[in-house]
Amino acid sequence: MFENRTERPYIDGGLLPPTERYVFEQMHFHWGESDSVGSEHVIDGKTYSMEVHLVHFNLKYGNFKLAINKKDGVAVVAFFIQASEYEKCELFGKITDQIHNIRELYSKTPLESDCLEWMSLQELDKHYFTYHGSLTTEPYNECVTWIIYRTPVFVSKQQVAAFRDLQSTDNTNKITKNCRSIQTPVQMPPVIFTGTV
Ligand SMILES: [Zn+2]
C-alpha cells in the first residue's frame, strides 16, 4: 500500500469534472465463453472478446468504498480486447504469460513494471466514449464516469483463452465468463465521443 495517497497513479482533465483528481484503485478483466462475447459495453451492436477496467476513485472522497456513494465518485477507464488470428500481442503477453501462475484463488505472481504498455497502442487523448453510468458489479451504484476507448487491442486467441483457465472461488470450476449482460437503462444517458468519427 502507499503511505501517501497522492503518490498513487491518477487521472484528471478531459471530460472529468474540472479540478477533480481520480486515483487508481484496481484493474480487472471481463471475458466471455467465446471470443465473440465478453465485453460489457456494446458499440454499434459490436461486442468484443474482453473488456479491461481501470477503476479510479475521486480523491476528495478518501477511498473507493466511500466514493461509490457519490455521483462523481468513480471513473473507470475501459479498453476492449479482441481475440484475432494475428500473432500474439507481445505487450499484452507481459500479463497473460503469467496467468498460469495465478490459476488458484489467492495466488500471486510478480509482473514487469511495463506490463501496461499495451495501452500505448492507443492514442490515449482521443477516440473514447464518455457517459455517466453505474458499476457493472454489485452494488451497481450510479457513481461512474465511464471512459471507453473505441479501438480494441488485438491479441491472440490463446491470450484470451488463458483467462478462462482461472479458477472460481470454490477452486474447482473455471471462470468461463464474468461479464454482465447488456442493460437497458430507464433513460438513455448522453454519450460523448471525443475525436474524429
Ligand atoms: Zn469491471
Mean pLDDT per 10-residue section of the chain, whose length is 197 residues: 66 92 97 97 95 97 96 97 93 97 93 95 90 91 95 96 92 89 85 83
Q: How far is the CA of 76 from the centre of ligand 1 (A)?
A: 8
Q: How far is the CA of 29 from the centre of ligand 1 (A)?
A: 6
First to last CA, the chain: 41
Q: In angstroms, what CA-CA distances link 162 with 3, 38, 84, 130?
A: 34, 14, 14, 30
Q: How far is the CA of 137 from the centre of ligand 1 (A)?
A: 7
Long-range contacts of 134-140 (CB under 8 A, 24+ apart): 135/68, 135/74, 136/30, 136/40, 136/53, 136/180, 137/180, 139/68
111 alpha carbon, distance to own chain's centre: 18
Q: How far is the CA of 28 from the centre of ligand 1 (A)?
A: 6
Which residues, by Cβ under 5 Å, contact ligand 1, an ion? 53
What pLDDT sits at residue 122?
86
Give the C-alpha separation, 147 to 23, whole Å: 14
What pLDDT sits at residue 1?
43
What pLDDT sits at residue 171?
67
What pLDDT sits at residue 4?
54
Q: How far is the CA of 62 from the centre of ligand 1 (A)?
A: 21
Q: How far is the CA of 45 from the centre of ligand 1 (A)?
A: 19
What pLDDT sits at residue 45?
92
What pLDDT sits at residue 89?
96
Q: How far is the CA of 53 from the centre of ligand 1 (A)?
A: 5
Q: How far is the CA of 5 from the centre of ligand 1 (A)?
A: 22
Give the C-alpha separation, 178 to 182, whole Å: 13
Residue with cell 457513481: 143
**Strand partners of residue 153:** 81
Residues, the chain, total?
Answer: 197
Q: How far is the CA of 65 from the centre of ligand 1 (A)?
A: 15
Give the C-alpha separation, 43 to 185, whole Å: 15
Q: How far is the CA of 180 from the centre of ligand 1 (A)?
A: 9
Architecture of domain 5-194: Roll (3.10)
